[in-house]
Chain A
Amino acid sequence: MADVVTVLLPGALVRLFPGAPRCVDVEAATVGDAIAALDRRWPGMGDRLCDSTPAIRRHLNIFVGGERARLDTALPPGGEMLVMTAMSGG
Chain B
Amino acid sequence: MATQVMLLVGTKKGAFIVDGDASRRGWSLRGPFCETWPINEVIADPKTGVIWAAGGNEWFGPAVWRSVDFGATWTHSSAGLAYAAGEVPIKAAWSLALGPDGTLWCGVEPAGLFRSDDQGETWSHVVGLTEHPTRASWEPGGGGLILHNIVPHPVDAGRVWVAVSTGGVFATEDGGASWAPRNRGTRADYAPEDQRYPEHGQCVHALAMAPGMPDRLYQQNHCGMYRSDDGGRQWVSIEAGLPSTFGFPAVAHPRDPDTLFLLPLNGDQAGRYMPDAAAAVWRTRDAGASWQALRDGLPQSNAFFGVLRRAMAADRLEPAGVYFGTSGGALFASGDEGESWAAIAEHLPTILSVETLVRDG
Contacts and interface: CB of A to CB of B under 8 A. Distances in A.
B89 interface: yes
Interface in A46-90: 47-49, 51-54, 57, 59-60, 85-86, 88-89
A8 to B, nearest CB: 15
Contacts, number: 52
How many residues of B sit at the interface, in one of the four size bands?
10 to 19
Interface string B259-301: 0000000000000000000000000000000000000000000
Given A44-B79, A47-B78, A52 B87 contact: yes
Which label, helix, strand, loop or mixed, suits the secondary structure of the A interface?
A: loop
Interface string B44-80: 0000000000000011110100000000000011110
B58 A51 contact: no
Nearest to A57: B61
Nearest to A45: B60
Most chain A beta-carbon neighbours within 10 Å: one of B60, B61, B89? B60
B78 A44 contact: yes
A51 B61 contact: yes
Nearest to B83: A52
A13 interface: yes
A52 B88 CA distance: 8
A57 B82 contact: no
A15 interface: yes
B155 interface: no
A12 interface: yes
A53 B89 contact: yes
A16 interface: yes
B59 A85 contact: yes
A82 B79 CA distance: 25
Given A47-B78, A47-B79, A59 B86 contact: no
Contact of B60 (A53, A57, A89): A57
B2 interface: no
A48 B35 contact: no
How many residues of A sit at the interface, in one of the four size bands?
20 to 34
Most chain B beta-carbon neighbours within 10 Å: one of A43, A49, A51? A51
Contact of B77 (A15, A44, A85, A88): A44
A84 B78 CA distance: 21
B59 A44 contact: no
Given A15-B35, A44-B78, A51-B61, 12 more contacts: A13-B59, A44-B77, A44-B79, A47-B78, A47-B79, A47-B81, A48-B63, A51-B90, A52-B85, A57-B59, A59-B59, A89-B58
Interface of A: 12-13, 15-16, 43-44, 47-49, 51-54, 57, 59-60, 85-86, 88-89
Interface of B: 35, 58-61, 63, 76-79, 81-87, 89-90
12 contacts: A44-B76, A44-B77, A44-B78, A47-B82, A48-B63, A51-B82, A51-B89, A52-B90, A53-B86, A53-B89, A57-B60, A60-B60
